[in-house]
Amino acid sequence: MTALAELAAAYSKAKADEARATAIRRELADQIVAVTGHAVEGQKIYEADGWKVTVKAPLIRSMDWAAWESVKARIPQELWPVEMKPSLDEKGVRWLQKNDPKHYAALAEALTVKPGAVQVTVKES
What integer is the mean pLDDT of 94-107?
A: 97
> For residues 42 and 85, what is the distance between their CA atoms, to the nearest angstrom?
26
> Quick one: pLDDT at residue 40?
83
pTM (predicted TM-score): 0.67
Asked if residue 25 has pLDDT above 90, the reply is yes
What integer is the mean pLDDT of 93-117?
A: 96
Q: What residue type is 115 in one-letter code? A: P
Burial status of residue 108 (CB atoms within 10 A of its CB: 0-12, 13-18, 19 or more): middle
pLDDT band with cut points at 50, 70 and 90 for residue 6 = very high
Q: Please name every residue paired with 48 in a beta bridge, in sequence order, or none if there are none.
A: 51
